Chains A and B, each alone.
Chain A
């Protein structure tokens, strides 16, 4: 069967059966390679995507669940080649080493800041509890999310 959904703002339809996982439909059916498998059991967050704005593990989500939903991957965060504030902040705060956890981490942060524009460091830590990073020790990632939040707040309050 075909699953119709919105992928990064565009209408999309991809083939899936009832056993297809969302991660496989995105990677194999839609060519989205930033969604990666680190564990396949919902424990590492490398496969995180936003579904209607909420971060979910696409490795434990049936593809058919995307039907009619808004799915965002990290490819959907940039506008005309310009990176989202969180992506930019990950780059400038050394939050990226091997990069394998990065797309999932950024999407989780995106969802957090959409919900809570001024999270404390503790809230940031809790929000990324399901995203494992073996390289960075999380500290630069927490810094990056904090900085992105501050920058977004500044931009939103700056006079036009």
Chain B
């Protein structure tokens, strides 16, 4: 028992019944008399539109066509979520200069979807092909052909300590080059958005998004409307994983509705969601580590190139987020992180679960195993010697690491996984078995970064003792709403089924910076807890004043003198006799941004003939501070492992020399399905984190961070290879085994 009534328990989700009954409706399920918008996108990676002939399309009944010639040429950046962030703007609503396969050329509107798609097929576009730019190493030289802003690349640097001295003093220097691929988020709900011109000049935008106020901001930067006239309403979300964090079709849809004075609905098929939205950013990184004789890290140097795709989007932010994770996992006395984001004629990258952490941890954790192999260190011992300790400071001046329990994670995990036994690879017939693991860290909001972090909510305890928590909560399926419910239940004693949590509507909600930066529990959840606490304080204070007797709280209400009064009755009396409601507002600014930590262990069996990898055994250990809902935390981890195995082994959105995508649907883009999914054991370390609600911190993003490197390390151990370019597909393995010996890097 943890001393809580609800926290740490297993609460069924309120929306699960409706979902099981098919009654939970997503945007595309809602009735609407909006014009349907079909996107006309570029079939070529790089081309300019010579002519566009819409005459035939316009002959169909009710068809309207908006092309790049009709659209404003205002540049924007889809990853900018607050005015003044000055993310380099290089994207327009529609374009006559296509920069990737799937770039938006025109929007064809019709009274129904079928007609819209038919009309789209009747639009004749003549393109003049331009040379595509798909290679990272030539991207800077070709940048002028893609964009005329004169920017070759977007550099970023993080440096502290005496890096050169560390390397000259080193007993050993090891280096690795590791690359990760573009990954499609694959939320099962494809992208959709509805914009409706409404009363009082307000434009309503319905979207299954992650950052309500970010959508509002980008739209306001393009349309001649103030923020107050743009109402963004979050609709039910069928999965997001960062893919719905940046705006994608929202500005275009809003503009079309505003221009035509008609409601416009854009709904996309899987192909458009794969090639025309965002991806996890691909990158390639070289890391060098300077070590002393005992295997202590003296310094690290990085040289990272990130593929932003056709537009910069939030990729530079992702690139910087990657670098900032480096000094928060191992004690690194000197660091130089040199990175640049380049633009290529491929699908734009952006936010994706982990926001750069899966990429940078793939680099560092695969590299760390290679160091151990080269210098004959045990990977557990080596890491234990170098991992951060609780309350270490961040040498870059960022937030303190907080109660960083990575060492507990590794020790507990290594024992439970029987690392000492499993570490030795074995083979039987064609199969080779090996085990591997990876450590990781991720953040809890934006405190002490260049961004601000604030969450606003209010809680009203009603006259019958039930409660409504009003906030811009974004439920993506990850249990944000039931987690808030549990927090309010715990702080107020009101039972969860009598609590309603509202979700994002920019017209009514207080400002919250959205579902990003793994801040949902540590920041938003703490805001909810403060609401519960302040509401109960007010209730007790008012009751004391009204009854003029000391007031205590109990399970069933308030104990006033020797009487127990139910909460609802107390609220009624207070409202009537003291003229005040139990309605409190809290604006919460976090005072730390501690690290969350985790270690994942995997055992794989590799078929040396086919190259097929089976993940046979899996253990995830996480320092979550405290689980709010145990089942919610487990659910995040299971799903994250599915996504991470995909990144390690099969998911890949690559582009050929002409810039054509390798996949446009799930026939070519392979996701891990049930037969390929291992059983996953979970150990939670719950040592509490100050500043989080009941000691809780983030889990949703970090849980996918260590998966790919853990699996790659297991494969390399099983096969005695040095595979470093993700994904490790069967073809990669078969190729590697054909070679006489592993090629040193």
Contacts and interface: CB of A to CB of B under 8 A. Distances in A.
Given A43-B665, A132-B671, A137-B680, A33 B635 contact: no
A30 interface: no
B675 interface: yes
Given A38-B190, A75-B21, A135 B634 contact: no
Contacts of B641: 137
Give the bracket for the number of chain A residues in contact with chain B.
35 or more
Contacts, number: 170
B20 A106 contact: yes
Interface stretch (B10-18, B91-99, B281-289, B441-449): B10-18
Contacts of B740: none
21 contacts: A33-B22, A34-B21, A36-B28, A40-B269, A41-B665, A94-B12, A94-B631, A98-B476, A102-B20, A102-B22, A131-B674, A132-B666, A133-B188, A133-B642, A134-B241, A135-B239, A135-B478, A136-B639, A137-B677, A138-B674, A139-B680
Interface stretch (A61-69, A121-129, A150-158): A121-129
Interface residues of B, number: 53
A98 B238 contact: yes
A12 interface: no
A58 interface: no
Nearest to A126: B675
A139 B679 contact: yes
Contacts of A44: 188, 666
Interface of B is mostly: loop
B158 to A, nearest CB: 32
Contacts of A141: 674
A90 B16 contact: yes
Contact of B239 (A83, A100, A139): A100
Contacts of A32: 22
B680 A87 contact: no
Interface of A: 27, 32-34, 36-41, 43-44, 46, 73-75, 78, 83, 87-88, 90-92, 94, 96-103, 106, 122, 124-126, 128-142
B238 A99 contact: yes
B479 interface: yes
Given A126-B675, A135-B635, A96 B16 contact: yes
A126 B677 CA distance: 11
A90 B103 CA distance: 40
B666 A100 contact: no
B267 to A, nearest CB: 9
B187 A94 contact: no
B477 A97 contact: yes
Contacts of B18: 99
B136 to A, nearest CB: 28
Contacts of B680: 137, 139
Given A101-B188, A135-B239, A140-B635, A40 B665 contact: yes
Contacts of A88: 20
A100 B26 contact: yes
Contacts of B23: 34
B270 interface: yes
B237 interface: yes
B674 A38 contact: no
Interface string B647-675: 00000000000000000011100010111
Nearest to B682: A139
B21 A142 contact: no
Contact of A87 (B20, B237, B639): B20
Nearest to A107: B22
Nearest to B185: A134
Contacts of B269: 37, 40
Residue of A73, A75, A125, A134 most packed against chain B (CB within 10 A):
A134
A34 B22 contact: yes
A73 B12 contact: no
A40 B638 contact: no
Nearest to A94: B631
A139 B479 contact: no
Given A38-B190, A97-B635, A98-B188, A134 B674 contact: no
Contacts of B26: 36, 100
B342 interface: no
Contact of B12 (A74, A92, A98): A92
Contacts of B675: 122, 125-126, 129
Contacts of B187: 98, 100, 134
B9 to A, nearest CB: 13
B531 interface: no
A149 B476 CA distance: 29
Contacts of A125: 674-675, 677
A11 to B, nearest CB: 20
Interface string B163-201: 000000000000000000000011111100000000000
Given A128-B674, A137-B639, A137-B677, A41 B667 contact: yes
Contacts of A137: 635, 637-642, 677, 680
Given A78-B21, A128-B674, A138-B638, A100 B631 contact: no
Contacts of A124: 674
A90 B20 contact: yes
Contacts of A106: 20
Contacts of A126: 674-675
Contacts of A132: 186, 188, 666, 671, 673
Contacts of B239: 97-98, 100, 134-135
